[in-house]
Amino acid sequence: MKEKLEALRQEALDQLQGVEDVQKLNDLRVKYLGKKGALTEILRGMGALSAEERPVIGQVANDVRGAIEAVIESKQEAFQKAETEQRLQAEKIDVTLPGRKMAQGGIHPLNKVIEEIEEIFIGMGYHIAEGPEVETDYYNFEALNLPKNHPARDMQDTFYITEELLMRTQTSPVQIRTMEKMQGEVPVKVICPGKVYRRDDDDATHSFQFNQIEGLVIGENIRMSDLKGTLLQFVQEMFGPNTQIRLRPSFFPFTEPSAEVDVTCVKCGGSGCRMCKHTGWLEILGCGMVHPKVLEMGGYDPEKYSGFAFGMGVERIAILKYGIDDIRHFYSSDLAFLKQFARQ
């Protein structure tokens, strides 16, 4: 049996010397050391040996197994090293190549306009106030002088969650919440930016969701002239120092008197063009003096205090400022469109 083991050792070592791939190496390991391999077959005859011979043959068998395993492990390490070298060469990086520039994003045009409007009004002493987009009927309508079944509600049809909960149609509820928070103290000077929702069909000039910024000022002896001066300063900082405004009488339930505000056409400067339909003016926002009932609902004495309010659509401002012809561009995630503003 000892001679068989020595012959097996020599045969296995000779076979292993010519191995050139991992699969062949694994096959030889199974052939000589596997459960049904050549070494196991020889050792099955151990039972016929005497008690004195078994330790001797056992030691020889262990030496044979050790010698074969040592060669197999050495071959495996060599194959793994060669594979690693080959992979490193294939994945080698040429550090002399110019670096790839990381794609750089930009601020969305609507956010740019919101930030610019906020900066203008902060410069005039205003604070920013925010409120929930899911609003109660009380804050969205009733506290703004729009009681149940008021016909003006039809102009602001929105998405109702329950009979008393809805997606806000304007950021005016933030004005009421601010008045309540102030508990009758003055002055109040806030702008209220945020998303609003109305049940509307999407087209070039309308969307069911858009951004709005409203402003509120309350104090003693606040007049319509203060409102006009504020808006004139705003449009001249937003559109240029030569921009002028005009106020046209209008109706809003929460202001009295109320007005629509036009600015001189940003394209023709007021001389008349297709953009302004040859009138020289473009409508930009609505405004007015805060209605006495709204002041009362907010906790202010209309006999002592007065105020003005205004509201503008951010998309409308952006369309005029950048000459955009379709509101849907703002929401299409078109990189070709958005990249224009990343450079500005």
Residue positions forming the annotated binding site for Mg(2+)? 256
Find out whether 145 and 294 touch, Cβ atoms under 8 Å. yes
Chain-centroid distance, C-alpha 342? 16
Find out whether 231 and 283 touch, Cβ atoms under 8 Å. no
Helix axes 22-33, 53-90, angle to 10 degrees: 170
Annotated binding site: 256
Q: Residue 112's closest CA among 258, 277, 322?
A: 322
Sequence-separated (6 or more) residues with CB below 8 Å from residue 162: none
Sequence-separated (6 or more) residues with CB below 8 Å from residue 109: 318, 322, 324, 330, 338, 341
DSSP for residue 75: H
Provide the CB-side half-sphere exposure for 22 (13 A, CA): 8
